[in-house]
Chain A
Amino acid sequence: MKAFANLINQLNSSTKTSDKLKALSDYFAVATDKDKVWVIALFSGRRPKRAVTATQLKTWCMESINMQPWLFEECYNTVGDLAETIALLLSNQHNSSQNFPLHHYIETLISIEKESEAVKKNYILQSWQQLTQDEIFVFNKLITGGFRIGVSQKLMVNALAKTTQLSSSVITHRISGQWNAANTSFHHLLSEEANSIDASKPYPFYLAYALDGALKDLGNENEWQAEWKWDGIRGQIIKRSNELFVWSRGEELMTDKFPEYQIFSNLLHNGTVLDGEIICLQLNTGNTFKPLPFALLQTRIGRKNISKKELSNSPVGFIAYDVLEYDGEDIRNKPLTERRYLLEQIIQAVHHPSLQLSPLIHFNNWHELAQQQQNARAFDAEGIMLKRKNSVYQVGRKTGDWWKWKVAPLTIDAVMIYAQKGHGRRSNLYTDYTFAVKDGDKLVPFTKAYSGLTDKEFAQVDAFVKKNALEKFGPVRTVKPELVFEIAFEGIAASNRHKSGVALRFPRILRWRQDKKADEINTLEDLKQLLEQYGK
């Protein structure tokens, strides 16, 4: 446990990727195989089932040090992390612990999952007694999850590659999928001879730049193909060696996240690679579809195990844009028109509602296309993709042949009325704000928004909050309604859970309007009009 607590400390305190890589590979070089397997599992999101709830941890901690709940909450709000708060509050002063290896703690936690509350409590309290502060922190994290340490799967894979002689893509492939750390040996997971070609290997994605010039600069409209730009995750579906693989643009293997795609394993031929959008789809009669909000997809990606309910609430489909490999042949150098023809053949042959062809937008001249672009929201698209008909499929972000043309976000000017401290990196700055619009002489809160300011602006707003806090409600400060921000969002819907009657999609701070005063902000009426227009 000491070595693992050390690793977490190093990962936590270093900001350089090279340091993190070194810390990880140093750890992998000396840790026991059993511990290594668990670290791989933990860092790839395979936390063991939660044996103890956060509330139980909190309660037992308060009991054992005889602390009032309000004081615990104060501490928690200051620290911003439950596992750390508990570790700081217990903070045994002794420096050496009874030291079991990492897997011992994890396996015990698994073994008590079905036991009575008393057994669990006894084990947790006893472990807290025996561990040092840093170790209590990681022990708690094993239960609550989320080591906020900035280790991507990719970084871990690279560290493993350094210690195992296997290539990163092979490791990525091996550690993806369904395996259980409790009964998988390190040897089984990674040390096998890996001389078979890596069937899962995706092609690098071709990415478009945002259109910056005028449409007419693109030349003759007949040379261009237009499609909707969908709001999901760009992905590749690969069928090779009788196996199906799904990769995201972030080069994450996500095959298991989307059981809906398993059917394609039978329907696609070996040696097929499709490029398209992973997206939640509502399927209608006549093989038409309606894309569902990105937020639904997000709930799916966040989960390790997907319930039946989620499968039916947020069914995932694939809107195919392109085919990169056909019949085992890399066809990226064929012109788009040819690839598109092949793609249409494939989709027709598969004939499954979860695999949709990206529809083309018909237009006779640039003017017509510009009008269509304005309508993108009505089609649940974020804008338009323009691709030169004779373009080959390039590698990475390249200018010239492919362009993305997004619709401008909806915006509203609003005043900040509440502020709360951020968590994690920003746990001491007021960075989470609630915004309001005017309704007569009242202010009506309608959204929270987080991102969108620079560090410097955050510091300025933070200083404002500290000087102008009117009231406290726990961690929330009511502030003088003075700072005006332009809030951008991608969609708006009616909601009776919100005071304002609307819920926004992807609200974010577009800019701080230091040129505007609080009485110049938009009104509730303005919001309702947007709802009328775009709220479907």
Chain B
Amino acid sequence: MALIEFSDKGLYCPIGNFFIDPWKPVDNAVITHAHSDHARWGSKNYLCHTQTKPLLQLRLGNNNYQTVDWNESVYINQVKVSLHPAGHIIGSSQIRVEYNGEVWVVSGDYKLENDGISGEFEPVKCHTFITESTFGLPIYKWKPQQEIFQQIQQWILNNQSQNKCSVLIAYSLGKAQRVLQAVTKVTDNIWVHGAIYNTYETLINAGWQLPLLKRVTPETTKEALHNAVVIAPPSADGTPWMKKFYTYSVGVCSGWMQVRGNARRRNVDAGFVLSDHADWNGLLQAVKATEANKVFVTHGFQSAFARHLNEHGIEAAEVKTAFGDEEDVQENNSGSTNE
């Protein structure tokens, strides 16, 4: 019996009788992070990182949550389970599962660069590694966050000099908090869409130190938004909600902006290549660091990445998951789910 199986409800550990990021209601769910394609509604018990809990409460309501810190072990039916920073968003974790000396690690979503809020990715040695591959093609190579932040700041200053409002499109959980770090360096006139404000309040209540933000409401006047920065989720892009900001420029923060056609198709004024996922080199580096002798690839360009690993002496296989195929990723790109 494999330590982790690929079932129709998601990743399943039969010995421990728990699921990791199940996409159907189960008894015991271990959650990597609070994005909606990983944390789904309806399970009896949830195990997650301490920082993830308030976000799950916001998104899934009150449930039976058990929390752990990183590198803290718990046993579920003799299976040793621990969480390790994944660097993806606040609270995001890799799940390490050990039984009888055999170790599997489920990566969840991750990135290697320390973004200043999500914790620093920790390489965890294992026998079998289950990795995501959202950006698993060599065309995806990220520049350092600092460089992208400078681009964003330059763009905001430029807009201000033309009396334009800067509308930054960023996912409400993760990217929005991340770009805030760049934005606060150039302005304190920062407004956010309601969806982002909810996440913001939750984080403030959980004790996070975040800059002062204002929520855009129906009462917000155009004058108030003059020269301001507005952060909005992809779902708001192109809707009547945007009409409020009469002269504005739209900048999208996403790894998909790497390809010119995507920026053009989304009709954006500026595309910032900023992702919360590992790029090609990041994925390769992460896989090597685990020293795993078997790799399962989900969630993205799994067939290409698995084939590449096999050609380079690492046994790999692609796995289809509900949060993991190329097609979901493409939908991400049009903004319908969380990146």
Using a CB–CB cutoff of 8 Å, the interface residues on chain A facing chain B are: 12-15, 65, 67-68, 70-71, 74-75, 78-81, 84-85, 88-89, 91, 93, 423-429, 459, 462-463, 466-467, 469
Contacts and interface: CB of A to CB of B under 8 A. Distances in A.
Nearest to B268: A13
Closest 3 CB pairs of A and B: A466-B327, A427-B261, A88-B139
Given A75-B139, A89-B139, A427 B259 contact: yes
Given A15-B264, A78-B137, 17 more contacts: A12-B260, A13-B264, A13-B269, A65-B138, A71-B138, A71-B304, A75-B139, A79-B261, A80-B261, A84-B259, A85-B139, A89-B139, A91-B141, A426-B261, A428-B334, A466-B327, A469-B327
B139 A78 contact: yes
A276 B265 CA distance: 38
A434 B139 CA distance: 29
B308 A425 contact: no
A81 B261 CA distance: 9
Contacts of A84: 259-260
In the complex, which of the residues B263, B269, B271 has the most CB atoms of chain A within 10 Å of its own CB atom?
A: B269
30 contacts: A12-B263, A13-B263, A15-B264, A15-B267, A67-B138, A70-B307, A74-B301, A75-B138, A78-B259, A81-B260, A81-B261, A85-B139, A88-B139, A88-B141, A423-B261, A424-B264, A425-B261, A425-B264, A426-B261, A426-B265, A427-B259, A428-B256, A428-B265, A428-B333, A428-B334, A459-B334, A462-B330, A466-B327, A466-B330, A466-B331
Contacts of B141: 88, 91
B304 A425 contact: no
A85 B327 CA distance: 20
A75 B330 CA distance: 15
B331 A463 contact: yes
B317 to A, nearest CB: 16
Interface majority SS (helix, strand, loop, mixed), chain B: helix
Interface string B269-293: 1110000000000000000000000
B223 interface: no
Contacts of B258: 88
A458 to B, nearest CB: 11
A70 B267 CA distance: 31
B232 to A, nearest CB: 19
Interface in B289-327: 301, 304, 307-308, 311, 327
Contacts of B256: 428
B327 to A, nearest CB: 4
Contacts of A75: 137-139
Contact of B269 (A14, A65, A91): A14
A88 B262 CA distance: 14
Given A78-B259, A427-B262, A467-B327, A13 B311 contact: no
A84 B334 CA distance: 21
A114 to B, nearest CB: 33
Interface residues of B, number: 30
Nearest to A421: B330
Nearest to A79: B259
A428 B139 contact: no
Contacts of B271: 13
Interface majority SS (helix, strand, loop, mixed), chain A: helix
Interface in B213-271: 256, 258-265, 267-271
Contacts of B259: 78-80, 84, 88, 427-428
A428 B268 contact: no
Contact of B139 (A12, A68, A79, A462): A79
A12 B264 contact: yes
A12 B266 CA distance: 12
Interface string B61-83: 00000000000000000000000
Nearest to B261: A427
Contacts of B265: 425-429
B307 A89 contact: no
B308 A71 contact: yes
Interface in B114-141: 137-141
A74 B333 CA distance: 18
A136 B251 CA distance: 24
Contacts of A71: 137-138, 304, 307-308
A186 to B, nearest CB: 29
Contacts of A93: 143
A135 to B, nearest CB: 14
Contacts of B138: 65, 67, 71, 75, 89
B145 to A, nearest CB: 14
Contacts of A89: 138-139
A200 B265 CA distance: 38
B154 to A, nearest CB: 14
Given A13-B271, A466-B327, A428 B262 contact: yes
Given A74-B304, A85-B139, A425-B261, A13 B334 contact: no
A65 B331 CA distance: 30
